[in-house]
Amino acid sequence: MAVDELQAIIQRCQILEEADFKGEDFNLFQVAGQKCLEDGYAAQLLEVIQNEKNKVIIKNMGWNLISPLVRCIFMYKQEDDKREHCLRILDQLAQLCNPKELFLGLLEQIEQTSGEQVCQTVMLLLQPLQTVLLNLQNKKAYSVGLSLAMIMNQLTPLPVPYTKQQIQEDKLGLCQCCNAVVDFAKPFVNEVVKNMEKSSEYNDMELKEELKKFCMQSLKYPLLTAQLEQLEGIEEHPFRHFATEIIDILWNIGELTPLVFVHHKGKSPQWENQEFADIERKNSADSLACLSYLMFVQHFGIECFPVVFSPSYLLLCNMTHIEVLLKRTEESVLSKGLDLFESCLLRMEDNSLLHHYLELRDFINVPQDLVKIMTLCPMEHMRKKSLHILQLFIDKFDTQGKYTLFRCLLKTSNHAGVEGYIIKNIKDQIHLALMKESDNIWFTGHHLIALLDLVLSLPEGAETDLLQNSDRIMASLNLLRYLVIKDCESDNQTGVWTTLGKIEQNFLKPLRVGLNMSKAHYEAEIKNKKENRKGQFFSNTVCSVTVSGEKMPAMTTGMQLQVLHSALFTFDLIESVLARVEELIEVKTKAVMDEN
């Protein structure tokens, strides 16, 4: 019945001129063709399409069959003959239909798909879409760009497989689909390359620009969040292969070098809407950061560059990208930022980075981002790696650079543990300065005194929360003890003896008062808890306690006492070092007075 209806419409249209086809004819052909497909008459429909007499009809009306055709292809099983007939129909339509109409029909079908069928639909339609685009006479570059953008926009909401198991399973087909899209783009890349070889003044920039946009979009998704390390048991890592292909396209169309090294000199696209401009800038920043990671960490395309760039220049070029990556919270992106930073630093000699670089915004922002990761990131391995890289960064600077960086981090970190770590670094630099014969003006004399003003002080005087700031206080006391032992008052290379009165006034005395107050408070709290426990029927009653201004999770009285005793132990530790420092100062001062 469905085939008879289709034959009737075909016979009626065969006697008409192409210009005489009406909207009603298109609708009748679509309904009859769809019924043939749904009723299982795909073989008969294929015969109609292949009939030379129907060439004009198929050219004008065939594109209407795309939607029902795709539905039927997914409905039939892989080995079903009907599915094979549907695939041959799709191939015939790509050859015979009006390219412009079929192009729009294929794009519409890609746009309408969603969820688990996205990758299947895209991979099914890539070949006919490529055929149509190659046959287009007008607006080819625009149409290629529109196709690639539509495909990538449909893929972008899909989760990127990250673990080895997810990549091997490729549940939604994303890995396979991404590499199929690259193969789809290759004829257009070859066209650009061919035209560039013909003329050194290649002026048709539209197709080249569309391919560049596709590469930039691919760098942001899926490559920015993809796992790109070589995985054992996966012979050809799909995302590594995809990354290689994207780099090759950029190299072949002459855009790789400008994007890596000259991007900051280029002009951004002009947008009337500021929101669009901000989105464009962010997307571009993410893509360029991923490109740098691919090149300098994974070494994709690195053979394209001569080894003429200094390590400090490479670091300078990459600091913007490192900052972009470190501001993200996803492990897959954050790890790329840390790896890129580490890779750039490992190329450099210690003490070779000039202090002038700290005048650049990125060189101040990036260590601050590292501090945030060290203190706030929930993943321990990320925190440890950030600390390791911060030390690498410190080691690469010259003496003045280290001095400037220490001052900056002490003022901005707002974390006692980080401040304690920086103070330990300051102590190491002072030690080096005292051991060397040559003068080191930054960690001795008046420069050091200015730094000690920051280090040997309490943020809120005697009322400073000593428990919360214990790491910083212990590091400061250890530094002061070192200075008093190593630097004789007669030499006074560090200047500590000159400023001793100020140190006692701003640091030692308030610390002593604060310790007495804190110990008294915690001892009273312990006594109170013990007395309360004696009056209770059960000793494990749950209640809450506030430490360092923060309410702690509900705990038994016994647990609270344990915490309070731990705090007292910390105060005793601080007090013992403080007493030793005071004793050393007194002994040294008395010895000098006796000599005099």
Confidence at 518, pLDDT banded by 50, 70, 90: confident
Neighbouring residues of 481: CB distance < 8 A, sequence distance ≥ 6: 577, 580, 581, 584
Q: Which of 52-56, 414-418, 437-441, 488-492 has the lowest mean pLDDT?
A: 437-441
What pLDDT was estimated at residue 519? 83
Between residues 27 and 182, which one has the greater pLDDT? 182
Helices (H) and strands (E) in the chain, counts: 26, 4
DSSP string for 9-20: HHHHHHTS-GGG
What pLDDT was estimated at residue 266? 42
Tally of residues, the chain: 596
CA distance 237 to 299: 15
Does residue 561 lie in a domain region?
yes
Does residue 495 lie in a domain region?
yes
Does residue 126 lie in a domain region?
no
Question: What's the N-to-C CA distance of the chain in angstroms?
Answer: 123
Do 331 and 382 form a contact (C-beta atoms < 8 A)? yes
CA distance 188 to 130: 9
Q: Which residues of 516-544 are buried (b: 16+ CB within 10 A; e: fewer)?
A: eebbeebeebbeebeeebeeeeeeeeeee
Per-residue pLDDT, averaged over 235-255, amounts to 94
Does residue 526 lie in a domain region?
yes
Check the CA dihedral 15-20-25-29 and report its sign: positive
Range of the domain at 423: 398-534+554-595
Q: Which two tokens stand for residue 411?
A: 């003022």
- pLDDT tens, 430-486? 999 988 766 688 999 899 999 999 999 998 888 888 889 999 999 999 999 999 999
Task: Count the Cβ atoms, other than its own, within 10 Å of residue 126.
Answer: 20
Q: Which residues of 2-35 are buried (b: 16+ CB within 10 A; e: fewer)?
A: bbebbeebbeebeeeeeeebeeebeebbbbbbbb
User: Is beta strand 542-543 parallel, antiparallel or unpaired with respect to 555-556?
Assistant: antiparallel
Place of tokens 């190593």: 486
Does residue 227 lie in a domain region?
no
Please give the single-letter amino acid code of residue 252: N
Question: Around 407, how many Cα atoms within 13 Å sit in the side-chain half-sphere?
Answer: 17
Question: Using alpha carbons only, how large is the chain's radius of gyration in Å?
Answer: 36
**DSSP character at residue 555:** E
Confidence at 115, pLDDT banded by 50, 70, 90: confident
CA distance 408 to 23: 73
CA distance 277 to 292: 23
- pLDDT tens, 183-197? 999 999 999 999 888
What pLDDT was estimated at residue 200? 59
Place of tokens 């930073």: 341
CA distance 564 to 525: 8
Confidence at 53, pLDDT banded by 50, 70, 90: confident
What pLDDT was estimated at residue 536? 57
CA distance 271 to 393: 38
Confidence at 267, pLDDT banded by 50, 70, 90: very low
Do 277 and 268 form a contact (C-beta atoms < 8 A)? yes
CA distance 409 to 372: 11
Does residue 189 lie in a domain region?
no
Place of tokens 């994207």: 246
The dihedrals phi and psi of 353, each to the nearest 5 degrees, come to: -90, 120
Neighbouring residues of 268: CB distance < 8 A, sequence distance ≥ 6: 277, 280, 281, 284
CA distance 238 to 182: 12
Angle at the Cα of 435 from the Cα atoms of 434 and 438, rounded to 5 degrees: 80
The whole-model pTM stands at 0.87
Does residue 96 lie in a domain region?
no
Q: Which two tokens stand for residue 228?
A: 């790109």
Using CA atoms, how far residue 567 sits from 47, 511, 563, in Å, is 88, 16, 6
- pLDDT tens, 386-423? 999 999 999 999 999 999 999 999 999 999 999 999 99
CA distance 375 to 370: 9
What pLDDT was estimated at residue 20? 59
The count of domains in the chain is 1
Instruction: For residue 547, give the H/E element and its range.
Output: strand 546-547
- pLDDT tens, 327-362? 999 999 999 999 999 999 999 999 999 999 999 999
What pLDDT was estimated at residue 539? 47
Does residue 574 lie in a domain region?
yes
Do 42 and 91 form a contact (C-beta atoms < 8 A)? no
Q: Which of 225-229, 377-381, 542-546 has the lowest mean pLDDT?
A: 542-546
Q: Among residues of the chain, what percentage have pLDDT more than 70?
A: 87
Task: Count the Cβ atoms, other than its own, within 10 Å of residue 502.
Answer: 14
Do 363 and 357 form a contact (C-beta atoms < 8 A)? yes
CA distance 162 to 168: 10
